[in-house]
Amino acid sequence: MHSSTIAVILGGGQGTRLYPLTKLRSKPAVPIAGKYRLVDIPISNCLNSGIRRIYVLTQFNSASLNRHIKNTYNFDVFSSGFVDILAAEQTPKSKNWYQGTADAVRQSIHHMTNKQHKHVAILSGDQLYQMDYRKMIEKHENNNADLTVATIPVEAEDATGFGIMKTNESGLIERFIEKPDKEELDQWQSDMPEKFRSQGRHYLASMGIYIFKKEVLTELLDRYEDSTDFGKGIIPKAIEDNYRVQSYEYDGYWTDIGTVKSFFKANLALTDDLPEFNLYDNEDFIYTRARLLPASKLSGTTFDHSVLAEGCLIEASRIERSVIGIRSRIGKGTTIERSIIMGNDYFQSREELDQKDSDQPPMAIGERCFISNAIIDKNCSIGNDVRIAGGDHLEDGDYGEYHVVDGIVIVPKRSVIKDGTKI
């Protein structure tokens, strides 16, 4: 167990770029891969790395996140492990909500002072990756770094969305710029190993994963009390002031799930024959709530390159390149392709499923539907003969019963789509 380190997972702000998936829940509580939630990824990475003291910082729509964490991460009474939620709170010092990543940690750090630790790992709540933080902590300690930043090589088109840095021969970061303009990218190229050069990945980007010496973190947050973000403020200033800021280069799979498009792409990538994100690992488990659901049942369905969670009753004719979440119900003659069906939070009774009320169809996807390029959020009621065909031909916007974002049709949680609707 890595008892020298405490982890702080940043729950993010309003999650506007993931709206309407974040309409009724915080970003870390957004369901992913059929049965997990985004927050399960960094928490699982911590547990697999022996870090068992974890704080999750949150401020928006946190009820479902609180419930999920309370029901999932319980340690036995003989361990000092915990996963605690720290929601934004008013204090005599501050009457404000969290203003950014650094401000969130600044406002919460007093909760951690009574815990024995040498390092603080700051992690993001909306990324998909499997990483052993022990290796990063080892490099941090071996180089006597004040702060270590996890970095990943990216190509030019991605570089403008990240903090980009330049390092010296020993991997210390000498220059750092947050989200550079296209015009200035040339001067930010780094010398990369051949395998990255051949992929056009010439830039070293921050992954938003940091390890601080405990006292350095407090010092930086106090010294730069006007800096509300790590990437925009704290890290560039620490480099200017000659703190030892180390780069830890990571070369595994990592994707930032900040937008609906990246969320959609990351989920559908799990349907590949050999997905880069490996859920089928004997050691690097992804933990989530144990729901004790029955096995899923398929009747007459052609099922191709899709992920199916537990507790589903599927009678669809064809499902391809899709992620079908827990307790999903899909009727006869329905086709689903390139879509995410998030499933349901509970089973409806036989009577509720049998009722023939077209204004309130059962919590399921009806018969003879066609759904393509769509995200159907939890507990939705989709009637019979409904056609949802997302794509670039649709104009983005809020259409009441559904939203269109980047051509993807999103049916928000608990929505009702009546029989025969065409989108």
pLDDT band at 119 (very low <50, low <70, confident <90, very high): very high
Taking the C-alpha atoms of residue 399 and residue 184, their distance in angstroms, rounded to an integer, is 40
Written as one string, the DSSP assignment of 123-174 is: EESSEEE---HHHHHHHHHHTT-SEEEEEEEE-HHHHTTSEEEEE-TTSBEE
The model's confidence at residue 351, banded by pLDDT at 50, 70 and 90, is: confident
Structure tokens at 118: 């040498």
**What mean pLDDT is predicted for residues 363-375?**
97
pLDDT in tens, 122-160: 999 889 999 999 999 999 999 999 999 999 999 988 898
Residue with tokens 């309003």: 14
Interval 337-343 mean pLDDT: 98
| Stretch among 163-172, 282-291, 346-355, 360-369 having the lowest mean pLDDT | 346-355
Tell me whether residue 176 is exposed, middle or buried, using C-beta atoms within 10 angstroms of its C-beta: 0 to 12, 13 to 18, 19 or more. buried
Q: Per-residue pLDDT tens for 188-232?
A: 999 888 888 899 899 999 999 999 999 999 999 989 888 888 888
**Residue 397: which residues within 8 A CB-CB, separation 6 or more?**
403, 404
Q: Residue 14's pLDDT band (boundaries 50, 70, 90)?
A: low
> What's the average model confidence in pLDDT over 10-23?
82
What is the tens place of the pLDDT at every residue in 304-329? 999 999 999 999 999 999 999 999 99
**Interval 160-197: pLDDT, tens:** 888 999 999 889 999 998 888 888 888 899 988 888 88
pLDDT band at 358 (very low <50, low <70, confident <90, very high): low
Tokens of 243: 């703190």
Task: Walk me through the domains of the chain, giving residue ranges and CATH numbers.
Answer: 5-269 (3.90.550.10), 297-417 (2.160.10.10)
Strand partners, 410: 375, 403
Average pLDDT over residues 29-37: 95
Name residues whose C-beta falls within 8 Å of residue 307's C-beta, 6 or more positions apart in sequence: 33, 34, 270, 271, 322, 323, 324
d(CA 139, CA 216): 17
Residue for token digits 């608990």? Answer: 414
Between strands 335-337 and 323-324, the pairing is: unpaired
CA distance 140 to 162: 22
| Kind plus residue range of the DSSP H or E element containing 399 | none
Query: pTM to 2 decimals?
Result: 0.93
> Average model confidence (pLDDT) for the chain?
90
Report d(CA 255, CA 53) in Å as an integer: 25
Tell me the per-residue pLDDT of 75-103, one tens digit each, with 9 for 90 and over: 888 888 989 888 765 555 555 656 778 88
Share of the chain above pLDDT 70, in %: 95
Residue entry with tokens 């066609």: 370
pLDDT of residue 242 exceeding 60: yes
